[in-house]
Amino acid sequence: MVVANPLILREGDPPRLVELRRPVADALAAAGVVQVALTDRPGWWEVTPGTQIGVVSVAGLQVVIEPKIDISRLVFLMGYARRPDFWCDNWAQLDADADLPEALADAFVRLAKRALEQGLLKGYVTVDETSAVLRGRVREADQLRRRWGRSIPLEVRYDEFTVDIAENQVLLAAVKQLLRTPGVGVRHRAGLQRLRLQLADVTAPGRDCARVSWVASRLNARYVPALELAELVLAGRSFEQRVGDLVVSGYLVNMATIFEDFVTVALREAFKPLGGRSRLQYRTHLDEAEAVPVRPDFVWSDAGVPRVVVDAKYKAEKPSGFPQADLYQMLAYCTVLGLPIGHLVYAKGNEDARAHVVRRSGVRIVTHALDLDVEPAELLATMSELVDAMVLSTEPEPFVAG
Residues 151-164: pLDDT tens digits? 778 777 767 788 99
Candidates 108, 37, 23, 34; CA nearest to 64 is 34
pLDDT at residue 235, rounded to an integer: 87
Q: Of residues 196 and 215, which shows the higher confidence score? A: 196
Tally Cβ neighbours within 10 Å of residue 325: 14
Are the C-beta atoms of 51 and 346 separated by less than 8 Å? no
pLDDT at residue 90, rounded to an integer: 54
Task: Name every residue whose Cβ is closer than 8 Å to that of residue 197 and which is 6 or more positions away in sequence.
Answer: none
Mean pLDDT of the chain: 86
Which whole number is the average pLDDT over 288-315? 94
pLDDT at residue 167, rounded to an integer: 93
CA end-to-end distance (rounded Å), the chain: 39
The beta-strand segments (E) located in 272-322 are 277-280, 284-285, 293-294, 298-302, 305-313
Backbone φ and ψ of 331, nearest 5°: -60, -40
Task: Name every residue whose Cβ is closer than 8 Å to that of residue 57 and which is 6 or more positions away in sequence.
Answer: 63, 182, 183, 248, 249, 250
Residue 313 has pLDDT above 90, yes or no: yes
Burial class of residue 196 in the structure, from the number of CB atoms within 10 Å of its CB (0-12 exposed, 13-18 middle, 19+ buried): middle
Are the C-beta atoms of 25 and 35 separated by less than 8 Å? no
- In the chain, pLDDT over 70 holds for what percent of residues? 88
Distance CA 97, CA 91 (A): 17
Q: Of 73-87, 132-146, 270-284, 341-355, which range is least confident?
A: 132-146
Assign 393 a pLDDT band (cuts: 50, 70, 90): low
Distance CA 366, CA 356 (A): 6
- Summarised one tens digit per residue, pLDDT across range 231-256 is 989 988 888 888 888 889 889 999 99
Give me the helices (H) in 6-120, please.
22-30, 71-82, 100-115
Omega prior to 323 cis, within 30 of 0: no
Q: Three-class SS of residue 189?
A: helix
CA distances from 158 to 124, 153, 213, 285, 397 (A): 10, 15, 21, 48, 63
Domain ranges of the chain: 7-68, 123-162, 275-392
Residue 315 has pLDDT above 90, yes or no: no
pTM for this prediction:
0.83
Backbone φ and ψ of 275, nearest 5°: 75, -150
Q: At what angle do helices 71-82 and 255-271 cross, to 10 degrees?
A: 50
pLDDT at residue 397, rounded to an integer: 53
Q: Three-class SS of residue 397?
A: coil
pLDDT at residue 3, rounded to an integer: 46
CATH architecture for the domain at 275-392: 3-Layer(aba) Sandwich (3.40)
Q: Three-class SS of residue 260?
A: helix
pLDDT at residue 2, rounded to an integer: 42
Residue 209 has pLDDT above 80, yes or no: no
The beta-strand segments (E) located in 144-255 are 154-162, 237-243, 246-254
pLDDT at residue 297, rounded to an integer: 96
C-alpha angle with apex 33: 74 to 80, nearest 5 degrees?
Answer: 20
pLDDT at residue 401, rounded to an integer: 59
Residue 394 has pLDDT above 70, yes or no: no
Distance CA 4, CA 212 (A): 40
Are the C-beta atoms of 63 and 252 separated by less than 8 Å? no
